Amino acid sequence: MVRTFIAGLLLAATAAVAQDYPAKPIVIVVPAAAGGPTDTLTRVLAASMSEQLKQQMLIENMGGAGGTIAINKAAKARPDGYTLLLYHVGMATSPALYRKLPYDTLNDFDYIGQVADIPMTLIAKKTTPAANFAEFLTYAKANKDKVTYANAGIGSASFLCGLLFMSAIQTEFTMVPYKGTGPAMNDLVGGQVDFMCDQTANTVPQIKSGNVKVYAATTKSRLASLPDVPTLDELGLKDFELVVWNGLYAPKGIPKPVQQKLVAALQGAVQAPAFRTRLAELGAEPVPPAKATPESLGAMLKSEVEKWTPIIRKSGVHAD
């Protein structure tokens, strides 16, 4: 009887917490520097989810170490629903890139759901002497010892895209890592590095403003936001495709009613007209509500870990 009484009290307390949730601002940890594509997506999502939850959502940027510092912080946070994590495919690649992680990628988080899919584009500094992809390929291969490729650090989406691109054209370039694609883009626009492959949330504004040259998209079909830009697949790199998926996570052990509130808020957010319009401007696509679920994100993460692990191990690249 005592155990039943205690269990009843705990259940009542959990229900009360969930009913009041969220009673204060929610922090979303972002494993990237401010100004990059993941940061941009998070801020758009935070604005939309804030309307759903009637509570402020704050962004905490933590770049470096392939996102693992921020991921570990989120994993170790109090599981009360007030600390969340938003990250992309890098969540699935870190187990292969790092021989030792301070967290368990698959088991240290509760899943909220997928958020959006973001294509990538191959871009270069605007002074690059190449009018199209064929000319760029010829130029880059002829100058491979001095051409530099910018990325947001080992494990980032831009790093992975560069790895696949160099493998596809069988040419290696000097890779220049940054603590986020925001700083990398700044140096590309400034002409300090030669080219990069990055998410449209970061590249479309720079492309449309004429600050960089664009040579290709990484999708199988052309992008609605950049209809005149050909895909790498149609340019000869057959089956080259890399679309960056993003997911929202919470530390393992958040109360189930709190998780359900967050899932409902996420599903409302990805369907909100303002969210969809803003993502379309960035060349990104929100997931349908059926993918904005814990089950869908869990399945995606597991399959992506299985996909990327042999690719990365074959490359011999390690971040530690």
pLDDT in tens, 122-161: 999 999 999 999 999 999 999 999 999 999 888 888 998 9
Is the predicted pLDDT of residue 12 greater than 90, yes or no?
no
Rounded distance between C-alpha atoms, residue 151 and residue 162, angstroms: 8
The count of other CB atoms within 10 Å of the CB of residue 156 is: 32
Distance, CA of 311 to CA of 102 (rounded, Å):
22
Q: What average pLDDT does the structure give for the chain?
A: 91
Structure tokens that stand for 43 in this block: 């801020």
pLDDT tens track for 185-194: 999 999 999 9
Contact 60, 28 (CB under 8 A): yes
pLDDT at 61 over 90: yes
Q: Please answer whether residues 291 and 113 qualify as being in contact, where contact means their C-beta atoms are separated by less than 8 angstroms.
A: yes
Separation of alpha carbons 174 and 124, rounded Å: 14
State the average pLDDT over residues 110-115: 98
Predicted confidence at residue 179, as pLDDT, reads 80
Asked whether residue 84 carries a pLDDT value surpassing 90, the answer given is yes
The total of other beta-carbon atoms located within 10 Å of residue 317's CB is 15
pLDDT confidence tier of residue 65, bands split at 50, 70 and 90: confident
- Which conformational region is residue 19 in: left (phi greater than 0), alpha (psi within -120 to 50 degrees), or beta? alpha
Q: What is the DSSP letter of 291?
A: G
Taking each helix axis from N to C terminus, what angle separates 37-53 and 273-281, rounded to the nearest 10 degrees? 170
- pLDDT band of residue 63 (cuts 50, 70, 90) is confident
What's the pLDDT band for 10 if we cut at 50, 70, 90?
Answer: very low
Instruction: Band the pLDDT of 216: cuts 50, 70, 90.
Output: very high
pLDDT tens digits, 269-318: 999 999 999 999 888 889 999 999 999 999 999 999 998 898 888 878 78
Coil vs helix vs strand at 23: coil
* Poorest-pLDDT segment among 18-22, 73-77, 166-170: 18-22
Whether the model pTM is above 0.95: no
pLDDT grade, residue 67 (50/70/90)?
A: confident
Over residues 29-50, mean pLDDT: 92
pLDDT the model gives residue 281? 87
pLDDT number for residue 139: 97
Q: Cα(173)–Cα(145) distance, rounded to whole angstroms?
A: 7
pLDDT bin (cut points 50, 70, 90) of residue 6 is low
Token representation of residue 91:
């969540």
Whole-Å CA distances, 135 to 163, 207, 226, 266: 21, 19, 20, 44
